[in-house]
Amino acid sequence: MDKVYVQGMRFYGYHGAFHQENELGQRFYADIILEMDAEKPGRTDDLDDTVNYAKVYEAAKEVLEGEPVKLVETLTSRIAKLVLQRFAVIEAVTVKVTKPDPPIPGHYDSVAVEIRRERGFENQ
């Protein structure tokens, strides 16, 4: 399977297990790997035969700037499901959501969750 990378997307959301995270908000980063057959778009050079990266960004934005949730796992799962629902050409998706400077004891640059989901997950 061929892969398309959409990396370094940045958002501001109100997710987290602590009250102050829901009040103040924080940055979230997203990286998405789309697995698909890129033979046809490579041959036709037609955007209709592939995935519009701007629309992938919009799907991630909808989740990360949307309804607050407690867990980064929930965010990654929702993005994966939305991508598979919206883009029939995608066979599998890997989503990584990074939460920089988490408000937990100790010194951390970030925490991140990465998941991979295949076609069929969007119907669950």
Catalytic residues: 99
Dist. CA 32–CA 30, nearest whole Å:
7
What's the Cα-to-Cα distance from 55 to each of 15, 19, 42, 47, 99, rounded to whole Å? 22, 31, 19, 12, 22
Residue labelled with tokens 């408000």: 103
Contact in structure between 28 and 113 (CB atoms under 8 Å): no
Q: Where are the alpha helices (DSSP H) in 5-113?
A: 19-24, 39-44, 53-64, 72-86
